Amino acid sequence: MTDLIIIGAGPGGYETAVRAAALGLQTTIIEAATPGGTCLNQGCIPTKCLCRSAELLTEAREAATYGVETGRVSFDLATAITRKDNVVAQLVQGVRGLLTKPGITLIEGHGKIDAEHNVVVEKTDGTHETLQAKHIIIATGSETKYLPIPGANSRDVVTSTELLAATTLPKRLCVIGGGVIGMEFASIFNAFGSQVSVVEYCKEILPAIDKDIAKRLRTSMKKRGVDFHVGAAVTAIEELSESSVVVFSEKGKEQRLEADVVLMAVGRAPRLHGIGLEDAGIDFTPRGIHVDNDMQTNVAGIYAIGDVNGLCPLAHAATFQGYRALHHITASTARTADLSLVPAAVFTVPEVATVGRSEDDLKAAGVACHVGKSFYRANGKSLAMGSDEGMVKLVSGEDGTLLGCQVLGAHAADLVHEVAVLMAVGGTVEQLRTTIHAHPTLSELILSASE
């Protein structure tokens, strides 16, 4: 019997395994696919590689504005995809290296919990092995959702996984879903030169983001040539001889949009099937496995972290949920991270980043708040960079305690962490206002918003 079995080697699983081994727990981690999970292999990392290609391509096209003559600028998608594959391969190799550390055993295969709370592994070589452990962590992640409509699985419909492997640039790309995945791909392929249309069911893109920020992002991307249909319900996808038509209802009227490639980006669902939840007596719904504040399920000794519990579908959230589970397993008295304080970023152009609560959220809850704003167009560094599009919003309580921050603009994903750190220690607007910030920097945007 080992101390800990982890099913799934995504960010939550492998980071937890490394820390568990460091704490002295003999740990076995089981992975049915490639170590690193969706984030490394089909999500965060490969998408950011293409974001970088899109960023360089845009800068090259605009270089003459800065007095830099580049000549004719061309783009080769296959080369960008090859670079992405190389980056992913390098990081996968690094994860495999981490999982060879003393105290960790990696088994490649499919793990399933049985009625006795053993883990039965069907290995990739076809053999089976039954394992026992004092504790089990389920970290099986999530899978792509599909709309339950005619044509959802037709010829031209792809998920983010297939689009990340494309070597031919689609002339016309229709993105179904204006969430994080949809908006990042819309931004990337718009820069690459595709004619991009986004069809979103909700009244605004990025439904979980502050409406002021989301609307400004949509306006910005529209100026770059992305076509938006919000408040639109897709009802069918029809195949033509060499393309497809996305059929949707907008303002009570049926609309038809022709595209060469249709990206299904309507979210992800917890990967719950085939891991023995019913046999083990673990409570779950289609939204995820039920867990308590320590990530423990209703079955003592069995935990669920990351996308599979449906709490927060972010890689870094999965990692810190794993740490919280270890904290409980080892009966540690050390302080743990506040799992309600999770920064998030959307790598569009311009970027979006948030932490804590938004003005919309607080108003809906009837909580009084103060909002401070600053704008990139008034910041010296952003003007020098040629990135004068965007804003910062700081949200605080009546006593001045920082409650949230939303940023739209260059390096938003970096800027928001200054506020995240202050919020983690109960910081106030006054403390932020009285902290000297270097000039000229983008961080002065945070200072300006506090004032």
- Positions marked active-site: 439
The Cα–Cα gap between 440 and 379 comes to 8
Contact 138, 8 (CB under 8 A): yes
Question: Which DSSP state fits 401?
Answer: B
The Cα–Cα gap between 4 and 7 comes to 10
Tokens of 340: 């309600």
* CA-based R_g, the chain, Å: 23
Tokens of 57: 């391509």
The Cα–Cα gap between 339 and 322 comes to 11
Nearest-10 Cα torsion for 179, 184, 186, 190:
160
- Per the DSSP assignment, residues forming a β-bridge with 128 are 122
Contact 206, 350 (CB under 8 A): no
Helix or strand (DSSP H, E) at 327: helix 315-329
The Cα–Cα gap between 288 and 117 comes to 19
Of 106, 251, 254, 267, the residue nearest 182 (C-alpha): 267
- Residues making up the chain, counted from first to last: 451
* 3-class DSSP state of 127: coil
